[in-house]
Structure 1
Amino acid sequence: MSAQGTPEMGRTAGDSKGLAKPTPKGAWTVTFLLFLFMVVNFADKIVVGLAGVPIMTDMKLSAEQFGLLGSSFFFLFSISAIVVGFIVNKVPTRWVLLTLAVIWALAQFPMVGTVSFTTLLICRIVLGAGEGPAFSVAAHAIYKWFPDEKRTLPTAILSQGSAFGVILAVPALNWVIVNHSWHYAFGALGVVGLIWVCAWLALGKEGPLEDTQVLAVTEPKIPYVQLLTSRTFLGCVAATFGAYWALSLGLTWFTPFIVKGLGFSQSQAGFISILPWVFGATIVILTGWISQVMMARGYTTRISRGVLGSVPLIIGGLILAAMGHVEGAGLQIAALVVGSGLCGAIYVVCPPMLGEFTPASQRGAVIAIYGALYTLSGIIAPSVMGTVIQRAGSMLDGYLTGFTINAVVMVGSGVIGLLLLWPNTEKARLTRGAAVQPAPLKGAVSPT
């Protein structure tokens, strides 16, 4: 066990293959476009939480109904992620990404006019179905441009889209909500989505390092049951489940907490709501940079990815648990900002860890299934918070209890991740397991 943690035993996957592949021309252009793709993605996600108080007021919604609205976004999220994950094993990611972005844009426009709760609910479900595969497909697309030892930083930049989607969208959308109407905030997002579609049509390309249609025929396969029951896959799902619990609460309940729980105005809440995402963005970039530096210096991916992603999750949960034990809005906001912001580290390291041991022709599906499983917390967390608030003695007590539940989930998932994430030995273990099953390895799938 100690040998696995030493730098000598764990060079990067690229080291075992000889010299690292050069990064193709155009890789960073595509990375930037996919960063913007995730900016739009998270702006679409945040708008309901940002407009939560006006929506609840105008539509006379209870806390439980608003919790249901927050959860509804994730009803088809996981199913569509899995379906599209298998599609991108065969279909170029360029066209899949384009289709997803069109769905996002069209799902926003019905909210521009008078809308019922049912219509709003259906549109959020459709939007969730379109956004479910987003990060996994974008990561799969980026990995066609970068060799394994260079993937952590582009993954960090892609993950940054979530933070910047909130940082950029919140002031702009909040201005629209305060000065015009929450209805127009949805319409503005639809227009922005269509602008990205035009940019991707003009500049988006498929990565040249991997042709998954060719690899589907020539590359040895590992049975999916082995990939999906490997300890690193299970560790990634468990760890990111806890992180996404915090993220889904941030998308749905953070702004209502600032307004109704702590008594700030809608305008003030718009600026305060940015803080966790600014801090989280810093954590994401630092994690990506530190991970690549550690790998370049010869540390195992167990250390430079697994431990580096899990420990901040545990620390963040402990800080979040302190919210109910400090006095004053300032300290409570600080605990929420730092505690939830530390979760960002796990998003940077898990997709590259899965890419280490998953054959490229199966990677799109595996990353998508990983995303589908951990985002199930997005269905649970907003509803749990709504129910807790509805049944609490006071609104503030309800929010603090909900965030304490979040803290427990984060610490538990971080500990599981710390125990299970061993990507540096996973490929050899899976290959040995597959070696005794010659049929799956020889059963090449013909491209359609």
Structure 2
Amino acid sequence: MSAQGTPDAAGRTAGESKQTPKGAWTVTFLLFLFMVVNFADKIVVGLAGVPIMTEMKLDAEQFGFLGSSFFFLFSISAIVVGFIVNKVPTRWVLLTLAVIWALAQFPMVGTVSFTTLLICRIVLGAGEGPAFSVAAHAIYKWFPDEKRTLPTAILSQGSAFGVILAVPALNWVIVNHSWHYAFGALGIVGLMWVCAWLTFGKEGPLEDTQVLAATEPKIPYLHLLTSRTFIGCAIATFGAYWALSLGLTWFTPFIVKGLGFSQSQAGFVSVLPWVFGAIVVILTGWISQVMNARGYTTRISRGVLGSVPLIVGGLILATMPHVTGAGLQIALLVVGSGLCGAIYVVCPPMLGEFTPASQRGAVISIYSALYTLSGIIAPSVMGTVIQRAGTMLDGYMTGFTINAVVMVGSGVIGLLLLWPNTEKARLTRGAAAQAAPLKGVVSPT
């Protein structure tokens, strides 16, 4: 029988596995909206940072701690849920996560203490920790490997559009009503997504992880998690997420308190990095898919394509303290931080390239848990630096310089380590070598 007619573990032929099933793009769009809600939830504290600090009389260190608190259970939750989705359909896991997000917002509608706000952010972070990795795992059940980069880019775009769409709307609520109602609005939007997912959300037909778990060869998790590409993805994305977590927590306060813009003006300025980042993400996904189609190795079309923008972005951020003028500083911050988006597009497909499907949910979730640790560190570091600086603007500039060093260093490490094509061959050979002796064993009679 030809390779074209050889059935895979799920009972499909190789030729059939390359087809995108009907409904794949509907689910992709719903998961894009899932990430829109996810990042709207994340940005609201940063957007309302000045009113929150004013009402609760918080200093920079306290607000930095509040920003970091979102990530206290983020990584732990991502790992736990990552192993769960190896066994449980992603449809129900995604639904549960979205319900947690919505319910965590409503306590902020009334009078709230700092402790209550802190606890709700920790709970929200626990619910949102697994979001991207579970959504990516769900999408990969609808698309074969060579077609995954573009849907991953669209999924990643949800982060940018979550900010682009939410910032003007939420800022209007904050300016004209109260920051408390901004949280309530997000809770309602979260419940609306839950209803849409219950109606239209489905499990992808290309992979049945329970069937695959019983039939496909396993690679020890130690080998997967110590592979150079996994390590490179975790470190490179750690640097990118440092910039993202600062953007979520500190960008709007920087615009208002550091550069002197009003809260209304800050609402417009705050979307600029995300607009530029959205362009970077879509271009990266499209370019990567075109390069794959033209025969480039994934070392180039994914590894290099994701790492180089991270290095360039860090070098651009490093120039911020050495220029004058709010407009130029904002432009450098927008471009420098926006270039980070490329790495989010290429890393999940790289991990999926060499990870067995029945283990992929856990591996991508562990990757997510590791890189989002920078979300705990970065906001607190910025708050401490601002608190101890001679002037507030000097503190911000020092914080952004630290960000630049982290980005360049992580980008260089990523450039050196991201070799998914050779990783796949090496790990597959290792799994085959382990299985070979078992085939030669004859049962005693």
Note if contact 1:7-1:300 (Cα within 8 Å) is conserved in structure 2. Answer: no
Note if contact 1:14-1:149 (Cα within 8 Å) is conserved in structure 2. Answer: no
1:430 deviates by 1.1
Note if contact 1:12-1:300 (Cα within 8 Å) is conserved in structure 2. Answer: no
Give CA-to-partner distance per residue, 1:231-257, whole Å, 9 cap, x none. 000000010000000000000000000
Note if contact 2:7-2:13 (Cα within 8 Å) is conserved in structure 1. Answer: no
Mean CA deviation greater in 116-125 or 438-447:
438-447
Give CA-to-partner distance per residue, 1:401-446, whole Å, 9 cap, x none. 0000000000000000000000011111112233443499999999
1:177 deviates by 0.1
In structure 2, distance between residues paired with 1:418 and 1:328: 33
The verdict on how the C-alpha distance between 1:441 and 1:404 changes in structure 2, with shifts beyond 3 A counting, is: farther
In structure 1, distance between residues paired with 2:4 and 2:301: 12
- Structure 1 residue aligned with 2:3: 3
The verdict on how the C-alpha distance between 1:108 and 1:280 changes in structure 2, with shifts beyond 3 A counting, is: same
In structure 2, distance between residues paired with 1:87 and 1:2: 37
In structure 1, distance between residues paired with 2:365 and 2:267: 32
Give CA-to-partner distance per residue, 1:290-335, whole Å, 9 cap, x none. 0000010000000000000000000000000010000000010000
In structure 1, distance between residues paired with 2:276 and 2:302: 20
Note if contact 1:245-1:381 (Cα within 8 Å) is conserved in structure 2. Answer: yes
Note if contact 1:216-1:445 (Cα within 8 Å) is conserved in structure 2. Answer: no
SS of 1:23's partner is: coil
The verdict on how the C-alpha distance between 1:428 and 1:331 changes in structure 2, with shifts beyond 3 A counting, is: same
Note if contact 2:4-2:15 (Cα within 8 Å) is conserved in structure 1. Answer: no
The verdict on how the C-alpha distance between 1:22 and 1:436 changes in structure 2, with shifts beyond 3 A counting, is: closer
In structure 2, distance between residues paired with 1:91 and 1:380: 32
The verdict on how the C-alpha distance between 1:441 and 1:159 changes in structure 2, with shifts beyond 3 A counting, is: farther
Give CA-to-partner distance per residue, 1:344-385, whole Å, 9 cap, x none. 000000000000000000000000000000000000000000
The verdict on how the C-alpha distance between 1:305 and 1:34 changes in structure 2, with shifts beyond 3 A counting, is: same
Note if contact 2:6-2:14 (Cα within 8 Å) is conserved in structure 1. Answer: no
Give CA-to-partner distance per residue, 1:216-236, whole Å, 9 cap, x none. 101100000000000000000
Note if contact 2:5-2:13 (Cα within 8 Å) is conserved in structure 1. Answer: no
In structure 1, distance between residues paired with 2:370 and 2:160: 22
Give CA-to-partner distance per residue, 1:158-177, whole Å, 9 cap, x none. 00000000000000000000
Give CA-to-partner distance per residue, 1:106-145, whole Å, 9 cap, x none. 0000000000000000000000000000000000000000
Note if contact 1:103-1:127 (Cα within 8 Å) is conserved in structure 2. Answer: yes
In structure 1, distance between residues paired with 2:32 and 2:59: 36
Give CA-to-partner distance per residue, 1:29-77, whole Å, 9 cap, x none. 0000000000000000000000000000000001000000000000000
Q: Provide TM-score, normalisation by structure 1.
A: 0.94
Note if contact 1:217-1:447 (Cα within 8 Å) is conserved in structure 2. Answer: no
Note if contact 2:4-2:13 (Cα within 8 Å) is conserved in structure 1. Answer: no
The verdict on how the C-alpha distance between 1:431 and 1:299 changes in structure 2, with shifts beyond 3 A counting, is: same
In structure 2, distance between residues paired with 1:120 and 1:176: 18
SS of 2:332's partner is: helix
The verdict on how the C-alpha distance between 1:15 and 1:353 changes in structure 2, with shifts beyond 3 A counting, is: farther
SS of 1:294's partner is: helix
Note if contact 2:244-2:337 (Cα within 8 Å) is conserved in structure 1. Answer: yes
Give CA-to-partner distance per residue, 1:15-36, whole Å, 9 cap, x none. 99xxxx1100000000000000
How many correspondences in the alignment? 443
Note if contact 1:6-1:299 (Cα within 8 Å) is conserved in structure 2. Answer: no
SS of 1:14's partner is: helix
SS of 2:319's partner is: helix
SS of 1:298's partner is: coil
Note if contact 1:301-1:424 (Cα within 8 Å) is conserved in structure 2. Answer: yes
- Structure 1 residue aligned with 2:369: 372
The verdict on how the C-alpha distance between 1:179 and 1:15 changes in structure 2, with shifts beyond 3 A counting, is: same
In structure 1, distance between residues paired with 2:119 and 2:441: 40
Q: Where do residues 63-212 of structure 1 align in structure 2 (5 Å cutoff)? A: 63-212=60-209
SS of 1:7's partner is: coil
Query: How many percent of aligned residue pairs carry the same amino acid?
Result: 93
In structure 1, distance between residues paired with 2:202 and 2:309: 35
Question: Pairwise CA RMSD of aligned residues?
Answer: 5.2
The verdict on how the C-alpha distance between 1:235 and 1:30 changes in structure 2, with shifts beyond 3 A counting, is: same
Q: Provide TM-score, normalisation by structure 2.
A: 0.94
Matched, 1:428 2:425: yes
Note if contact 2:313-2:336 (Cα within 8 Å) is conserved in structure 1. Answer: yes
